[in-house]
Structure 1
């Protein structure tokens, strides 16, 4: 990370809302660092010598949220080694514990901008994830795990989004629209950072 505090945007929404796809396009155009908490956790869980790997696997298999200390540590390490000054943090924070952990460990180190909230119906998200699961190889793109992930989004993440809304820090994107429409809306929001 550079000497100035890096700018951070949280990217939240249910599984299958298009967060990762839109983030990748922003990375290509605006040189953001993009870190999916889920991808960082999946990558760590696959390392043969990772002390955290087995625990991460167990949480993810059960559709549960991994302890915040692990997620924050992986995000901070990725940011430090990136050489970037602005970041999209995809799929984090997911609950109050994540927010509290982020505030304890990272709030003073970054310039938090806002939350991009991708709003999409449960039915459409399930449809997208099951289709993605046909070719992605992701172990969490199955009906049983998706139901748990969506329940977690509804019960844990939506209250967090409401907290950030009260702070005036949420920009809602209609994720049920076509990808190009979504991207244009997000691009207009981030291009002045």
Structure 2
């Protein structure tokens, strides 16, 4: 779909490069906006590989590494993990995967993330899929999902909303100015949201006039 971006992906040791042509779509939206659910649908229908920045960070925490302990402490505080940590995890995931189409979910979280990602990887997103959802609805969803996640309590949720509002919206504004934002009303039922998502991912040539 659209143009394919040339990406110079640095390998973990930083000494060699692998030239890999990839299409990247950034998936942004507040905590509880339904990004994960919709990413699963996109993977199933359009063949993308879903990379969740949050899942990669949680996997690093579970690994018990020193990096993981630092990440855990920052998440508890509702702070943003340093760009280089997340970018390294994303690079490794892209590099080790055989696919060439990726959804990057929950990243970039701020302008510094965005600039560092484009600078380090050479990748500019095809577009940004933005799930727009009112804070009250997101809070309700997070409190009811009860997945046993340590960061799903009311105090931390409100910290995460504050961080999201202050940090992520400038990223959305940046890509909006470049005509790369596809905004989805995420407060609607899952099926209706995916209908709107499908319209974004279906190439014009494949859309049949009603």
User: What is the TM-score with the length of structure 1 in the denominator?
Assistant: 0.93
Show the counterpart of 2:144: 131
Computed over aligned residues only, the root mean square deviation of the Cα atoms, in angstroms, reads: 1.6
Bigger radius of gyration, 1 or 2? 2
Larger RCO: 1 or 2 (CA < 8 Å, sep 6+): 1
Show the counterpart of 1:147: 158
Show the counterpart of 1:121: 134
**Segments of 4+ moved more than 2 angstroms:** 1-4
Comparing both structures, which one devotes a greater share of its residues to helix?
1
Number of aligned positions between the proteins: 188
* 8 Å Cα contact 2:118-2:124 kept in structure 1: no
Show the counterpart of 1:157: 168
1:57-85 deviation per Cα after TM superposition (whole angstroms, max 9, x unaligned): 01111111100000000011111111111
The 5-angstrom pairing of residues 14-163 of structure 1 reads 14-48=30-64, 50-106=65-121, 108=122, 110=123, 112-132=125-145, 134=146, 136-163=147-174
User: What is the TM-score with the length of structure 2 in the denominator?
Assistant: 0.86
Q: Name stretches of at least 5 consecutive residues in structure 1 with no aligned partner.
A: none
* 8 Å Cα contact 1:44-1:53 kept in structure 2: yes
1:4/1:76 CA distance change after superposition, 3 Å: closer
1:8/1:179 CA distance change after superposition, 3 Å: same
The Cα of 1:171 is off from its aligned counterpart by 0.5
